[in-house]
Structure formats: structure tokens, C-alpha cells
Chains A and B, each alone.
Chain A
Amino acid sequence: MPTILDFERPIRELEDKVSQLQSFSREHGVDVSHGVKVLEERIAEAKQKIFANLTPWQRVQLARHPDRPYPRDYVERLCTDFLELHGDRRFAEDRAIFGGFARMDGRAVMVIGTQKGRDLKENVRCNFGSAHPEGYRKALRLMRLAEKARVPIVSLIDTPGAYPGIGAEKRHIAEAIAVNLREMFRMHVPILVAVTGEGGSGGALGIGVGNRVLILENAYYSVITPEGCAAILWRDAAKAPQAAAALKLTSRDLADLEVVDEIVPEPLGGAHLDWDQAAELLGEALKRHLAELTRIPVDRLAPTRYARFRRMGILREG
């Protein structure tokens, strides 16, 4: 059973009508092509109308859509010869972050991604996409391998955030993220980041310090979850839709704030409707940016990465 969001319902109802008409046509040998054509036009119209006017909270719903392709789904479609590498060499293998060598468009890269599950069993394994310190330490280990192999790093992010748990604190998740932030600034290989679903605060940034940072059209990237923000400001998590609007977390908002460099388009209606097309659109952007980044002289990669983040912030002086 695919999940259908409230605002997707009018489209789904029209689509159901189309399939009813088609099965009627098959059973009774009646030509329904005109009816189907009319309905399909209405579907296209409804999609245009609904998806041009999504609220920030609706975008968050799309970003969290359980049928949305996750980073590993993109890797499967965009990479060949993926060689997954496991473990942080210190404590454990964290399934919430995966990574390894791969070839993208023929080019060798180190790909790193967060991992959500499709069902409870998978989600237990990967902790619903929320990494422990081990995930960040594994990611750093792999990034250092990328430096050694002199291949670019591609980081694909879809996480609700780093895990707020007892074990995570006991093994100092704050330090794991902080060290990643500092060390990612020192890497002498290109780092290309794309937020493909949820960009959950420090948990996303911990593998998100890139020379370029892209975001999918319906993804979001936020300093705090809308629910968390609502709980603090309104003392009511149900005010999440208001918080989502206030936080300016949509791809459009973030492009306006120059926090992201490019918005990657999704298939109309969202990436969950067509994984292959979504992957193709993301792949086009990744390949184009990788080609640009690999032309930057090696000794300019770290300084320009710092310069990118150095200008972040808006304030008044004097």
C-alpha cells in the first residue's frame, strides 16, 4: 500500500478513475481513449496547481514520504562498481550512514549517504536514518580514504538528524560531528553534497561541508525539526506547520538565503512517483558539478570550500 498524502489525494482519485476506465475498457472492449485523455489532462492540471503551491509543511511531508527514493536508491541508479566499506574501526558499524568507492559516469568517487529503512526491520538496523557517533566517524574514515585515493567525495543526505540517545552521548556524538566539520574543511579533494530528503540539522551538516551543496526540489534542510521548534516556541508539536513556515527550510528559501547552490528538480508530483527519473535529474546535476569541481586546482579546494561557508550569516555592522 503506497502512502498517499492529503494533498496528493485529488490526483490519486483521478488516477484511480483512469485505471477504472481502462479495466472497464478491457473487460467490455469499449473504446475509452477520449475519457482517459480528458482525465489525464485534468491530472496534469491538478499536479501543476497543487505542486506549484505547496506549503512548507507539505514539502516536509514530501521530503519524508515513505516511498521517496533514499540515497542508496540513487547510488544503485547512478553508480557502477559500488564497493561498500564498513565500520568506524573504533566501536561499531553504523547502518545509518553507508559509503564506499563507486564509479559515477565512469568517474571514481567516494560516495557517502544516510540510510532510512522501508520497513520496521530495516529501520531497526539503520535506526530510522539517525546516525550515532560511529556513523560520523566511519564517514570521516571514508573521506580520508578518498583523499588517499584522490577521488571526489559525493555525500547524499536524507536524515531526520543525529540520534539523541544515551549511547550517542556516552560516545560523544557532538565531538564526532564537530571533528567532521573541521576535517571536511581540510580535504584536498572535491566535496559535493546533495540533500535528497530530510536535512536534519547538525546530523546532516556532519557530512555536509561541501564545495557545492545541492538540494532536491522537495527536500528540506533545517536547524531544527518543525516539531522540535513548535514544541519549544508554542509548547505544542501540533504547531509544526507554522514552525515549518517560520524556519524558511524549503529548497526555494535556502536558495534565496544562498545556503544552497542549486535546486535539483524532481519529477512532477515528487521523487517518489518516479525513482528513475528522479535519479536521472539528480545524476545530471551531480555529474555537471563534479566536472566543474575537478577542474579546480587541488590547492584551491579547501580555501574555496572555507570561503563558501565563511560568507554565511546576515548581520548589521557598525
Chain B
Amino acid sequence: MPLFKKNRYSTLRGAARRGIPAGLWLKCKGCDGVIYRSRLEENLQLCPECGYHYPLTAQQRIELLTDKGSFTEMDGDLDSVDVLDFAGTGIYSEKLKASKKKTGMTEAVICGTAVLDEQRLALGVMDFRFLGASMGSVVGEKITRLTEFASENRLPLVIVTASGGARMYEGMLSLMQMAKTSGALAVHAELGLPYIVVMTHPTTAGVTASFASLGDVIVAEPGALIGFAGPRVIKQTTQSELPPGFQTAEFLMEHGFIDRVVPRPELRRELSLLLAYFSGALHCENAAAAV
């Protein structure tokens, strides 16, 4: 796990004043300090000073959570289409093209099988850079197929979520993905198989109101925004100020809705441990020790 073993570096305050070219550094959203982008990359995209969690790409997330080279992608050839011929401000197919170019992905979720510390799992990872990781027919279908694959092969299911919600450009077909994914999860749950959700910033709307909230265990990254309605909509509807920390991962844990807030450097170890608890691997160790 090379990503972990890196040392933490201190920020270079005043980099701007010292004339370090823009693009190499940024001002931290968490602590206002100046951080080198290269330092972020070496530190799991965490601010070395304050620990602010910057987003990981789906690819980086897969590297973080799986054994090297163990991930095999499934259904990478599903493509979204502009079924509604959506008459909006831009052209849906153009937006898809731009997102593909920007991310090198075909859609907002990557699904497949992988191994984590010798434990096989079905893994789906969403990437917010792709049209806000909104859920259209392809995202719903990939999550559903992944879940069905996990059911057929008796595998634990892990989904790393991030989403702005439904994909408006696909109208009601996108809303129906909420039902479809939840239906697949009903079968997975009935087989007694574990389903673990890792919520990352931001996980909202239709994805929160379907598969993201159905995990047997739900963990979230620190500071992640998690909710149904967006904060702006709530403010506008209710004409009131939102409580401090509203809809953050910590707020959700305080209210009893998620199991743990897990800083990124701990995520791999905790996920591995959880899978081991569910698989029964840890009972065996005990039994062996007793004998």
C-alpha cells in the first residue's frame, strides 16, 4: 500500500508570496493554508495540516481499497443515451462526451470484483467528476448488475457513494433507478450477505434515498455532505437558518444514521476488518486459539 506509507508533509505557508507558480499549489478549503498539489497527491488527497478530505477519483479509490492488481471491471461498456432528446440548455450527449474526456471514465460509477486482504468482494465506486455522479440508466444498471452478481456469487457488496442525485436528462428513467437498485439489494439482503456503504462528499438526493442508505454498515468520510434535499433548497423552502454542521457525516452519526466517521487513512484497514467480521474469518482464529 504505497499510498499509506508516505510521510505527512508540512504546508509551505506563503508559497504564493514566494512566487511559486499557481497550479502547483492551492489554498486549503479547511485551514486556508497553502498546500502543494504534489503533497496532496502523496497524502491521499488530505490536507497535511488540517486533514481536510479532497475528493479521490474512482481509480484512486479502487487503488486505496483493494489489493494491487486485483480489481476486474464489469460492465464497463455500458453507455448512456439521450433517450428523451432532452431539450435543455445544453445537449446531454455533449455533456456526456465532455465528462468522458475529462475523467477518462465511461460513466459515473466503476463496478467490478476485487480482493482486499485475501477477501473477495463486489465493489462499486462513484466519481463525482462525471456529471456530478448523477444516477441515470447506466449508473442504476451497473449498480444493479453488481448487486445481482454479488447475490449470485455470495459476495459481500461494497459501494463507495458520491452523487448529486438523479440525472435530470433521463427524466423518469433516472428516478426508476432508485427502485431498481433497491430491489436488487432486497434480494442481496435476503440471502444474508453483507452490504457496506462508504459515503463520500457529497452523497445526496436520489442516491441517498435509495442504495446509499441501505447498507448494513454505513461509514462516511469526515466532513462529507450527506442528505436528501440540498441545503440551498431547504433554506429556501423553510426560510430558516440551518443548524451548525447540518448534513455533515458527523451530524448524521450524532443523529444515529451512520455507524462511523472514518478518516481516509483508516478506511482500508476498517473495511478489511469489517469484511473479516462478516465472513467469519475471525471466529476461526479464536477457535484455533482456544484449541
Chain A residues with CB under 8 A of B137:
312-315
Chain A residues with CB under 8 A of B172:
221-223, 247-249, 254, 257, 259
Chain A residues with CB under 8 A of B177:
312-313
Q: In the bound complex, do residue B240 and residue A166 qualify as a contact, i.e. CB atoms below 8 Å apart?
A: yes
Does residue A233 face the partner (Cβ distance < 8 Å to B)? Answer: yes
Interface size classification for chain B: 35 or more
Given known pairs A164-B228, A247-B171, the reply for A313 and B77 (CB within 8 Å) is no
11 contacts between A and B (CB under 8 A): A166-B243, A166-B246, A172-B213, A172-B252, A178-B210, A182-B189, A223-B166, A228-B233, A248-B172, A315-B81, A317-B78
Q: In the complex, which residues 117-173 of chain A have their Cβ closer than 8 Å to any Cβ of chain B?
A: 162-166, 168-173
Residue of A174, A223, A257, A314 near B228 (CB, 8 A) is: A174
Q: In the bound complex, do residue A233 and residue B168 qualify as a contact, i.e. CB atoms below 8 Å apart?
A: yes
Q: How far is the CB of A299 from chain B (nearest CB, A)?
A: 13
Chain A residues with CB under 8 A of B89:
233-234
Give the B-binding residues of A (Cβ under 8 A): 162-166, 168-175, 177-179, 181-183, 185-186, 201-202, 205-206, 208-209, 221-224, 228-229, 232-234, 242-243, 245-249, 253-254, 257, 259, 305-306, 309-310, 312-318
Chain B residues with CB under 8 A of A313:
136-138, 140-141, 173, 176-177, 180
Does residue B178 face the partner (Cβ distance < 8 Å to A)? Answer: yes
Does residue B38 face the partner (Cβ distance < 8 Å to A)? Answer: no
Does residue B257 face the partner (Cβ distance < 8 Å to A)? Answer: yes
A318 to B214, CA, bound (A): 30
Q: In the bound complex, do residue A248 and residue B183 qualify as a contact, i.e. CB atoms below 8 Å apart?
A: no
Chain A residues with CB under 8 A of B83:
257, 314
When C-beta atoms are compared, the residue in chain A nearest to B190 turns out to be A186
Chain B residues with CB under 8 A of A223:
166, 168, 170-172, 174-175, 206
Chain A to chain B: the 10 pairs with minimum beta-carbon distance, closest first: A164-B229, A313-B137, A181-B182, A312-B176, A174-B208, A174-B228, A178-B213, A316-B79, A174-B209, A223-B175
5 new A-B contacts at CB < 8 Å, known A178-B209, A179-B214: A170-B255, A178-B178, A306-B187, A310-B144, A310-B180
